[in-house]
Structure 1
Amino acid sequence: MSSAFHPGNVTPFPSGRTESQTLFDRQELMRIMDLYGRMVSAGHWRDYAIDMGKDAAVFSAFRRSAERPEYRIEKRPALRNRQGMWALIGEAGAVLKRGADLGPVLAPVERKLMKLVEE
């Protein structure tokens, strides 16, 4: 009788992640998802996508799922010592804000949220 399961053998679960992949850490993702949730509550955003590649981790926020993202929040660790590893990129692809810390980079979106809530 042959069995694929052997109690003494432990097979690691494949993570699908490569060592050179850029990721958001828990605090960064919580901060981004908090902003996303508030924009959804304000009726402005409806969808998001996360892409974690070799050079960058990217969070894209969409007004509607069938269009280009309104904003992309990019984390590029290779730029940490130059312009800062965080960037806020607008729908047309222009860098709207860049910096070393996530909070100030998200500030333009936070201001937009305040205007949406006031309306």
Structure 2
Amino acid sequence: MLDNADLGKLLIRLTLGGLLLFHGVAKILNGVGFIESLLVSHNLPAVLAWGVYIGEVLAPLMVILGYQTRIGALLIALNMIVAIVLAHTHELLALNSHGGLALELQLFFLLNAIALVFLGPGKYKLKN
């Protein structure tokens, strides 16, 4: 018998991980030069930019597969906090041209990751 709560958790995992993974693949294809320069402009070491591969590739795969989901979701949440602080603080209360919150995508990733930290993966996952 299908469990609606577990299907809901699976849907959240697939959506969060799947959508964020596109950003990670873009970083794989195009590099992290923009992030390196952003870090340097905040007096942080450029090498920290490589952490984006953990937050946008490894962690989303963990979430999608349901392997150590809470850890993967926490990594995503931390990645999004860093992204918001470094690149989006000027948009905290801004609206986009369609009237939506300028940070809606970043907040979607952050808040859904936090929800998965609390909810866990559900029963549809890799055994770990």
Relative to the length of structure 1, the TM-score reads 0.31
Which structure: greater helix fraction?
2
Larger RCO (CA under 8 A, 6+ residues apart): 2
- Mark the structure with the bigger radius of gyration: 1
Relative to the length of structure 2, the TM-score reads 0.29
Which structure: greater strand fraction?
1
